[in-house]
Every structure is written in C-alpha cells, then in structure tokens.
Amino acid sequence: AIDFRDLFKSYENYNEKEIEIEGWIRTIRDSKNFGFIELNDGTYMKNVQVVFESHLENFEEVKKYSTGSAISVKGILVMTPEAKQPFEIKATEITMEGESDPSYPLQKKRHSLEYLRTIAHLRPRTNTFSAVFRVRSLAAFAIHKFFNERGFVYAHPPIITASDAEGAGEMFRVTALDLDNVEKVDGKTDYTKDFFGKSANLTVSGQLEAEIFALAFKNVYTFGPTFRAENSNTTRHAAEFWMIEPEIAFADLSDNMQLAEDMVKYVVNYVLENAKEEMEFFNSFVEKGLLDKLDNVVSSEFGRIDYTDAIEILMKNNDNFDYSVQWGTDIQTEHERYLSEVIFKKPVFVINYPKEIKAFYMRMNEDDKTVAAMDLLVPGIGELIGGSQREERLDMLEKRMEEMGVPKEDMWWYLELRKYGGVKHAGYGLGFERLIMYLTGMGNIRDVIPFPRTPKNAEF
C-alpha cells in the first residue's frame, strides 16, 4: 500500500488508476446506497476520503465499521477539483485489518488537552499530537543536521553519574533494587552506596562530560534526556526533559551566542520548510500569528543586554510584577517574558549575571562580581537556553568551588582538564521541549513530550 505522504505528492500520476491504501478510520458516515470514510495512515497530516457504494460485496458490513478501526482499501483514484481534498478513492474492496471497539474514546468531537493527557497511549492519533510529535521528530533531525554540517562530534554523556553538574542538588538518586547486595550499616541500607557500593544519580546535565569531549574534539554537542528532581508544577518544567548541549573550545561568550542564534534560526527554518502542513495547522488552531512570529525570529538579529541594564529596565516596572527585582536577584519567568515580549519583542540574550545566582563553572568577569553567563529569553516561553563561558583558570575555578561548597575531591578530573591544555571554552544547554513549545505554540510542556514526567505523573 502507498503511504499518504507519498500519495499526496504524486496523486496526479494515479488519476483513474487503482491503488491500495491502509490506515485508521477517523470518521465514517453512510446513507442508504453509499458512504464516506475519512482515513488516516499516520504518515501525513491529511486524511484521504474513501467513497464506498452498494456494489461492494461487504457493503452492509462496512457500514458498521467503527471509528478507530484499521482497514485496507483497494480503489480507483479520482480527481475532485471542486472539493477540499484534490482527490478521493472509490473503493473496489475494503478489508477489516483490526477492529476498534465502539468505546474508542477518540470520536469526532474535540477533546481537551487535559483529557488527552490521561490517554497518552491514544493521543498520538489526534491531529494535534500527530503534528506535535512530527515537528518534534523533524526538529531533532534538524539539530543533528546543523551540528553535523559544522563538523561537531555528537558525544554521549552518561545518564547515571556521580556528579551534580549544576551544583544545585536537584538529583534523583539511583538505587539498585537488589538491596540485599547493597552495603548496609547496622543492618540498614547505606544510601550513599546503593549503586553497587557507590552513590549515583540521574544526570541533570551532560555539560561536564561535554567539556571533556570539547577539550579533545574542539566542537561537540550532546542530545539526550536529563533529569531534575524539582517538585514544581509549572507549564515549563518537567522532571525528565531532553537537552542539547554544545560545547566549543577556543571560544568565548560571543562565539557561544553566535552559535546559539545560528542554531535556533536553522531549526526554525528547517521546520518551516519541512513541516508546512503541521505549521499551518498550529498557526490556525493553536497560536494565531505563529508563522509571523517565527518568520521574525529567522529574519531579525537577536537582542543582547547586560543583566545590569536589564535589571534597571525591570525595576521601573516592579509595581506590576509578582516579585520585584533589584541587582542581585535571579530573574523569574515573568521578568524574562517582560524583557522578550514587551521590551525587545524578539529573542534576547541576557549576559553577565551576578556570580551568586549562577553555577560554579562560569567564568569570572574582570569586575569580580559577574560571570560570563548567557540566557536566551524568548517571547511566550521565557528561558529557552542557559549557557556560559567556562572558568578555564585552575586557581579561579578552585576558589569558586570552595566558595560555593562544591566538593573538589570528587571533581578531580574536571580540575585536571584545566591543568592539561585547558583553554577558553564555552557552551550552552537548550531545553528541547521548550523549543518545541516555541515552534508549535503549545502552552504546556506536558503536551510536547510523549510521556511527560511531572509531579504525580508517571502512569505511562
């Protein structure tokens, strides 16, 4: 059978010819002597209309087929220039391949996103999620393509690790279930040794390992799942999310910003060109003006502002924020959105944050107060990317680790990178789900990852 994806590209070649298709029934309606089936095979956004008439051998049976059933169809393709779809199939043979019980929840009416989350095993079959996950797949491919074209090595950091890359203590511990074989102290499990004699956790970021690779391959990136034990219930945080973390050697903060801007634009472009139907669907049904917004992202230069200047702007609007800011406070989503939506009206990099609110590995600036950090803020989302130039000076790094209580003994290997040919380098992390939210206009992180892991949410 021919995939719809190919069929919609080449249907003119099949005019008046018999073809075979297969798929799932989206809707079926009939009258006395004929009926219509809207069929979708999952390879394309659009349905194919199948017309069946009383001369079909199993006409009476087909009339009783229910939504959600899988069927195969042989039929003649005919052009329908006046109709919404350019062609339809006049069935000569329809075969049931997999029946669907009439209790199938995805009947024609529109369902809320909240309800669809409760049926994560079926929601990929809806138009919305079909489009979301196709765009997610294309965006992942575009990211690999972008880095591959630039000669970056794709590095694979471990999922299970002993380190806390962000120094924020937001880790999930990894425990061997075979607790009998785990070390005990006074008959009780020693949770500092429950990974076969060691303590281990799920990675919060592959950055530190990416630095190892960057200091061997110059330009590298990671792309994989990361985990944060943050018990926060927002539309932008998940306990499991995918992150892309490039790391570049012989590079500083402005090289890092350039790379991030090039990458975001490349992915937006790729998706606009290769997912036209999906993007038009989002533009019509999810976020009005999405396509204009994304065209603007591709064609404009991203803004850049120092944290200190951003705070000055934000302080003028303190009365309208839930949390007021002053120099030294970490900026929250509401401030991030104000800067990108109201002040810049496009993506903007905020750079040079106070050292107190950023991670230990960020490079100290001359002023001894700020570090060479960068966050990319985008309208509608807030923080899309977080990154920095790294502290490559051994003495400075050791000083920061001591100040911030990061255990130097455990990170001897990280320090050695500075001892043996350490060179200036930089990198960033892009939250893949936030990028998909930005690309599709979907408002909740739970609706851009197939099986969201958020507090109280691990059923599937």
3-state secondary structure of 190: coil
End-to-end alpha carbon distance in the chain: 32
- 384 near ligand 4AD (CB under 6 A): yes
By the 8 A CB rule, do 422 and 395 touch?
no
- 431 lies in the binding site for Mg ion (CB under 5 A): no
Helix (H) or strand (E) segment spanning residue 307: helix 307-315
CB of 456 to ligand 4AD, least distance (A): 15
Q: Which residues are within 8 A (CB) of 110 and not within 5 positions of it... i.e. 6 or more apart?
A: none
Among 157, 379, 427, 452, which residue interacts with ligand 4AD (rule: CB under 6 A)? 427
C-alpha span between 71 and 96 (Å, rounded): 5
Query: Can residue 429 be called a binding residue for ligand 4AD (CB under 6 A)?
Result: yes
- Strand-strand pairing, 70-79 and 18-30: antiparallel
Residue 228 near which of ligand 4AD, Mg ion, none (CB within 5-8 Å, type-dependent):
ligand 4AD
Interaction partner, residue 47 (Mg ion, ligand 4AD, none; CB < 5-8 Å by kind): none
For residue 282, the partner it binds in ligand 4AD, Mg ion, none, with Cβ less than 5 to 8 A by kind, is none
Q: Which residues from 226-255 bind ligand 4AD, rule CB under 6 A?
A: 228, 230, 237-238, 241, 243, 245
Which is closer to ligand 4AD, CB of 23 or CB of 429? 429
Least separation in angstroms between CB 226 and Mg ion: 12
Least Å distance, CB 127 to ligand 4AD, is 25
Site string for ligand 4AD, 336-375 (x = CB under 6 A): ----------------------------------------
What b-and-e string marks burial along 208-239, b requiring 16 or more CB atoms within 10 Å of the CB? bbbbbbbbeebbbbbbbebbbeeeeeeebbbb
β-pair partners for 221:
154, 246
> Which spans in 150-252 are helix H?
207-217
Query: Residue 37 or 155: which CB sits closer to ligand 4AD?
Result: 155
For the chain, the farthest-separated pair of C-alpha atoms sits apart, in whole angstroms, at 86
Residue carrying structure tokens 């998940």 = 238
Kindly state the smallest distance separating residue 230's Cβ from ligand 4AD, in Å. 6
Minimum Å gap between C-beta 328 and ligand 4AD is: 18
Among 23, 347, 379, 386, binds ligand 4AD (CB under 6 A): 386
Q: Which residues bind Mg ion (CB under 5 A)?
A: 386
